[in-house]
Structures are given as structure tokens and as C-alpha cells.
Structure 1
Amino acid sequence: MAAPTAQAAPTGIHVSNGRLGQNDGSDLILRGVNHAHTWYQTQTSALAQIKAKGSNGVRVVLASGRRWAKNDTADVADTVSAPPSGGARRGPGPPV
């Protein structure tokens, strides 16, 4: 019987025992809002303003093109690539 291999400690945001966790082992409590990017694409300072109000999570609303104008690959990449000042990470929510 092979000896069990040691697992590396989780890095970044992870799920442990059904809970969101952080590197330091504490629970991650998300405090955020929706940003309707697909309708307000010119509001480029919105994410930094959301961060400044204390949010640590943002659901960015995108469109597939079925109902509203599609957010193309370049737009999505620009939206989620560089975090606003303060280091918050961005990521798209489920497809619209």
C-alpha cells in the first residue's frame, strides 16, 4: 500500500469543507455588488469606485448577444485583466 502523499496548503481563494477560504485560513466573506458592464461600458471608473466603498467582490454583468449587444472577447479580457487599485480581482459571472 502506497503512503498517502502530502497535499500542499491551498493558495489564494479556495473551498474547504464547503466554505470559501483565504490563504491565512480565515473564511472569505464577500461584500460586493453587481456592475452592469454590458449596459454601461463607458463607466470605466466604476470598479475602482466600488472598491473604494469597501467591496471585495464584483459580479460583472456581460451579454452573450442573444438579448443585448454581445461583449466580445477583447472587451471581457479588458474588463477582467487589470484589477483596480487596491488589488481586488475581477471575474465574469455566469453567461447572460
Structure 2
Amino acid sequence: MLIRSFLLQVLVLLVTTVGTALSAERPNVLFIFSDDHAPHAIGAYGGWLKSVNPTPNIDRLARQGMLFQNSFCTNSICGPSRAVILTGKH
């Protein structure tokens, strides 16, 4: 009887967990990657080129969502830097 009760509890836990995982919404992520692009050229960062090169859609996305602000590069050429940000491996 004890084993049957334990198995019933495990079954209820599994059904609840699987049902919750299946009904959860996937996160809505948009990652804009621009190679060799200075942050002062995008208006959302408040750079001095925002009036020369307006970026209203990127600015709106930044206001409504999140803005990536901290990035550190250990290599001066673009190939390794690009690989690091795309793979997450240093």
C-alpha cells in the first residue's frame, strides 16, 4: 500500500510538471548582431551620431525591452570576438 501511494504521488508530480512545462511560453528574444559597429552610432546608447544616423526601430526595441550594455573583448580582431559572442565560449 505504501508503494502504491508513493507511485501515485510521483505520477501526479510528473503530470503536473510536464503540463506546466508544455504550457509555458517560450521567451521572445531578438539578438541584433552588427559586426564592427560602434555603440555611438545607435541612438539607444545616446551616442553623438544619433542625429546623423537615426535608428528609431532599434531605439524603440531598446525602450520596450532590454539593452545590452556590457561587453568585454580580449582580442582586437573581429573573428575571435564574433565567435565568443555567438558561442559564449572564451
The structure having more radius of gyration, on CA atoms, is 2
Q: Which has the higher contact order (CA 8 A, sep 6+)?
A: 1
**Per residue, is there more helix in 1 or in 2?**
2
* TM-score of the pair, normalised by structure 2: 0.29
* TM-score of the pair, normalised by structure 1: 0.28
**Per residue, is there more strand in 1 or in 2?**
1
